[in-house]
Amino acid sequence: MNAFETLAAFYETQREAELPCSATDVMRLCLLDWLIVSRAAKGDAVAESALAYAAGQGEASLFFGGGASARMAALANGTVSHALDYDDTHFAHIGHVSTVVIPAALAMGEARGASFETILRAALMGAEAATRFGVWLGREHYQIGYHQTATAGAIGAALAASVAAGHRDVRAALSNACGFAAGLKAQFGTGMKPVNAGMAAANGVEAVLMAEAGLAGSETVFEAFAATHHGLKDTAAWDEIGEAWLFEAVTHKFYPCCHGTHAMIEALRDALQRMPSSERTLERITVRTHPRWMSVCNKPSVKDALEAKFSYRALAALLVQTGGAAVDEAGLQSLFPMRESTGALMASVEVIADEAVSEEASRVTLEAGGASAQAEHDLRAPMSFEARLEKLLAKGEGVLPKGEAARYWDVVQSADVTALLSLITE
């Protein structure tokens, strides 16, 4: 079966099947995280612009109040949830997932009166489709300049919106969405980066609405998309689809900085705990990372907190200064204006590009007074549900008023769609 047939068959067999507990649990955590990063974006200029653009009349709720058509709600809410760039990432897919599929599932689900369970299923199936379509497209698609979050995301969003709308068939929606899918990395650093995520959600919703109106594209469009968009068509992307859930390997950001620094942060926090406390003054910090990150997160000098988010050295200095506390905005701000001691700490950090370290991992060595400590962290390492939840709640405490994240988790656990929508609009 080709890619199109495979996803259509996945849809047909899984639409009413029992879903695996573990993947569904991960989607619940993603929903919690999505609520945290979206509600933390209140007041963000791009988020507010998108909401103002979308606000109108319609059957779907917008963050922080008001309504819009399902397409416009998906567009605006998807933009809101990516505005802080603090949402989840799938490294195999090379894309942000929940920020596209949850808004599509929710907007269409609300418009059609779907249950919480249906919306959760829609988001999960859409996330799996986006992830696998992203793997199918492969690295070259991303490397040459496509924003996979948006391109593969539109396919996931169409699948999610189809589930949420209760359709038996997804074929027309998949073809339509593939024809609409767009998004370039050239927009990074502008308001259009979050809009790419929102537009992918909107494209998925519109693909379904047009299919309902009787408009259907060709079933050969996936192949044409790969041929035109530098897709590798990696057939391994479809291995065990419906049995294994690749989406489960999604990673959450627990710190508000570039995802490429997160493995280093975890490894350094571990290494600091292993260093004898008598050794107060570190002489050298060695960070090994995959070469792909050197152009992204290895800024040699930094002038503000934003640049520090892309600097191994600045983040390492902050971690040493705080004794390994979780990185947060206040900590990043505290680095500036930069003190001499911070500069000295940064100078003691050596960053080494090492092909032997995986893209999602980092290895850190500390040396002080003859003693040394080492730790390694791989973001792909399994994390228990409880550990993920604890870290997400702590993340929420960092960006929202006290107790908010725990309240959001109660709503997710309640499986009450009315409570969920109230939370979004409040």
Under the rule (CB under 8 A), what is the footprint of a copy of itself? 45-46, 49-50, 52-53, 56-57, 69, 144-146, 175-176, 178-192, 195-196, 199, 209-210, 213-218, 220-221, 223-225, 227-230
Supply the minimum distance, in Å, between the C-beta of residue 30 and a copy of itself: 26
19 vs 55 by CB, closer to a copy of itself: 55
Nearest to 310 by CA among 300, 301, 297: 297
List phi, psi (to 5°) of 245.
Answer: -110, 100
> How far is 396 from 31, CA to CA, in rounded Å?
13
Supply the minimum distance, in Å, between the C-beta of residue 388 and a copy of itself: 33
215 vs 381 by CB, closer to a copy of itself: 215
For the chain, the first-to-last Cα distance in angstroms comes to 46
Nearest to 311 by CA among 322, 296, 324: 296
193 vs 253 by CB, closer to a copy of itself: 193
Q: Name the residue type at position 219.
A: E
> How far is 399 from 253, CA to CA, in rounded Å?
13
186 vs 325 by CB, closer to a copy of itself: 186
Supply the minimum distance, in Å, between the C-beta of residue 154 and a copy of itself: 9
Supply the minimum distance, in Å, between the C-beta of residue 191 and a copy of itself: 4
Q: What is the DSSP string of 152-173?
A: HHHHHHHHHHHHHHT-S--HHH
Token readout for 219 is 């079933």
> How far is 128 from 123, CA to CA, in rounded Å?
9
Supply the minimum distance, in Å, between the C-beta of residue 54 and a copy of itself: 9
| Residue 269 CA from chain centroid, whole number | 23
Supply the minimum distance, in Å, between the C-beta of residue 137 and a copy of itself: 12
57 vs 277 by CB, closer to a copy of itself: 57
Token readout for 23 is 């993947």
Q: Is 52 exposed, middle or buried (0-12, 13-18, 19+ CB in 10 A)?
A: exposed
Neighbours of 25 (CB within 10 A): 14
Supply the minimum distance, in Å, between the C-beta of residue 88 and a copy of itself: 23
159 vs 315 by CB, closer to a copy of itself: 159
76 vs 332 by CB, closer to a copy of itself: 76
